[in-house]
Each structure stands twice: as structure tokens, then as C-alpha cells.
């Protein structure tokens, strides 16, 4: 009985009650601090996740906007590029109609026509009057007037005669100097006095025009070259044809000339 009373006294003691209140207070404070820390951690994690998702969303939308802008620029630029490379309209090409050439014109324009063609052309030309016969460009004592006959035609005729003459010389062993151009020594004295003196130092004939040359007073000349007012028109196997003031004459190969 006494032990029961002692236990009741101990329970009703103010010291025990004060310490019990202190213990209860400490437990309450400790239990309220832990949820607060957990709550802050949850808030921080949620804020971080929200910020990360926000950054990803903004970056994604920026990439889409950039891609849309580039696509729009390409679509706007493509019509201009296609327009620059469009084919133009086709234009019909007109073929020129050249006038028909007569036989005389063809012979004149061919620098190396055959002797037969030149002879046929000369025969076809009408010479009805005696006056025309007297005006023939080929006379024994006069140089050939190149205003009445084309220089190309005369050169072609001389070249044809030279080829025929060269063949006859090989077959017969002769040294014929066939030419329609009169020699300088047979011309009128008034014309001979206009020709300067020269020494005929060399003469080379070839079937190729580029291989023909003469040498006057130490100067080598080819067909078409000029020497003291003289023009070398044609170089034949045994003579050369000069032109002086539109007058053509010949000079035998390797024969010097002295002005009278």
C-alpha cells in the first residue's frame, strides 16, 4: 500500500512535470524542422527542373524559327536563279545567197589557174574591132598594162607556162624561155630609162611558190617583194617578171641591167 502511495507522489511531483514538459517541447521542435528542409529540397528540385525544361523549350523554338527562316529565304531565291538560266527564244538563221560566179571571174580569182583555162578565157572575150586589137595589153615593144589585165591572171598564166616549160625541158633537154611578157631590153627607150640598174646575182625556181627567190645587188627577194620601185610579180625557171608603175616586163635570169 505504501508503495502505491509513493508511486502516486512521484507522478504528481512538480519536478517530474517540468522535465516532462521540457522533453515534450524538444521533441515537437525537432519534429517540425525536418519536414521544412524536405520541403525546401523539393522546391529547389522542382525549380531546377522547371528552369531546364524552359531552356530546352526556348532552344527548340529558336531552332525551328531559324530553320523556317532559311527555308523561306531559299524559296524566295530559287525563282530568281531559275529566271537567270532560262533559255531564250530560238531565232532562225538566214543563209546568205551568194551571186553565181562566171567562168571569167573564177579564173581571175584563182592565182594558179592552168594555162588551158587562161587560154579559153582569153578566147571567149570578144574582140570585134581593129581598135581593140591595137589596145591589146601584150605588145612586143611595150610593157603589159596591168590596168587592162589582172595581175593575178598574168601571174597564173606565167606560172602555168613555167610548169609546162619546166616539163618540156626535162623531156627534151631544151632551155626554152616561154613567156607572154616582153623583155626589158625590147621595150621603148623612154621606159627603159625609168628602170634602175641592178646586178642579177642569184635565181632559184621551185614548184612551190615559197621556194622561189632571186637576188638583185645582194638582196634576196621573193614573189611580192619590192626593190627600188620594182615589184617581183612572178619568178619563172629562166626569167623574172617585174612591175614598174603598173607596167609588167620580164628580165632573163642572171642578166644584169644597166640603166641607159
Report residue 90's pLDDT band, with 50, 70 and 90 as the boundaries. Answer: confident
Grid coordinates given for 260: 641607159
What pLDDT score was predicted for residue 107? Answer: 44
pLDDT band at 67 (very low <50, low <70, confident <90, very high): confident
Model pLDDT, residue 6: 67
pLDDT at 65: 86
Torsion of CA 46, 48, 53, 59, to 10 degrees: 170
Q: Whole-number mean pLDDT of the chain?
A: 76
Residue 110 has pLDDT above 50, yes or no: no
Share of the chain above pLDDT 90, in %: 32
Q: Residues 16-37: pLDDT tens digits?
A: 454 445 454 555 555 566 788 8
Q: Where does the pLDDT of residue 142 fall: very low under 50, low under 70, confident under 90, or very high at 90 and above? A: confident
Q: How much is the pLDDT for 2?
A: 62
The 10s digit of each residue's pLDDT in 38-58 is 888 889 999 989 989 898 898
Residue 193: Cβ-neighbour burial (10 angstroms; 0-12, 13-18, 19+)? exposed
Secondary structure class of 93 (helix, strand, coil): coil
pLDDT-based confidence at residue 73 (cuts at 50, 70, 90):
confident
Q: Identify the pLDDT of residue 31.
A: 58
In contact, 236 and 165? CB cutoff 8 Å: yes
Nearest to 178 by CA among 161, 166, 157, 193: 161
**pLDDT at 105 exceeding the cut of 50:** no
Say what the pLDDT of residue 258 is: 95
- Range of lowest pLDDT (37-41, 183-187, 236-240): 37-41
Q: Give the number of other Cβ atoms within 10 Å of residue 212's Cβ.
A: 22
Q: How confident is the model at residue 173 (pLDDT cuts 50, 70, 90)?
A: very low
User: What is the pLDDT averaged over residues 70-75?
Assistant: 82
Domain boundaries, the chain: 42-70, 140-252
If one counts every other C-beta atom within 10 angstroms of the C-beta of residue 9, the result is 10
What does the pLDDT average to over 160-165? 75
Amino acid at each position: 500500500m505504501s508503495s502505491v502511495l509513493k508511486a502516486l507522489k512521484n507522478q504528481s511531483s512538480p519536478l517530474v512535470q517540468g522535465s516532462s514538459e521540457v522533453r515534450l517541447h524538444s521533441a515537437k521542435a525537432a519534429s517540425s524542422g525536418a519536414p521544412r528542409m524536405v520541403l525546401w529540397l523539393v522546391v529547389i528540385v522542382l525549380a531546377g527542373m522547371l528552369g531546364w525544361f524552359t531552356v530546352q523549350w526556348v532552344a527548340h523554338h529558336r531552332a525551328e524559327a531559324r530553320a523556317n527562316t532559311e527555308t523561306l529565304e531559299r524559296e524566295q531565291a530559287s525563282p530568281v536563279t531559275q529566271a537567270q538560266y532560262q533559255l531564250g527564244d530560238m531565232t532562225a538563221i538566214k543563209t546568205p545567197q551568194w551571186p553565181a560566179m562566171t567562168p571569167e571571174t573564177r579564173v581571175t580569182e584563182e592565182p594558179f589557174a592552168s594555162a588551158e583555162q587562161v587560154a579559153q578565157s582569153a578566147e571567149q572575150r570578144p574582140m570585134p574591132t581593129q581598135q581593140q586589137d591595137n589596145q591589146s595589153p601584150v605588145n612586143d615593144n611595150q610593157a603589159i598594162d596591168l590596168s587592162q589585165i589582172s595581175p593575178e591572171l598574168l601571174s597564173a598564166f606565167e606560172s602555168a607556162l613555167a610548169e609546162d616549160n619546166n616539163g618540156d625541158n626535162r623531156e627534151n633537154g631544151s632551155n626554152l624561155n616561154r613567156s607572154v611578157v616582153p623583155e626589158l631590153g625590147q621595150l621603148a627607150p623612154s621606159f627603159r630609162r625609168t628602170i634602175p640598174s641592178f646586178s642579177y646575182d642569184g635565181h632559184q625556181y621551185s614548184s612551190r611558190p615559197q621556194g622561189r627567190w632571186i637576188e638583185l645587188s645582194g638582196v634576196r627577194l621573193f614573189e611580192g617583194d619590192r626593190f627600188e620601185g620594182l615589184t617581183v610579180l612572178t619568178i619563172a625557171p629562166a626569167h623574172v617578171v617585174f612591175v614598174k608603175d603598173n607596167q609588167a616586163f620580164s628580165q632573163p635570169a642572171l642578166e644584169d641591167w644597166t640603166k641607159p
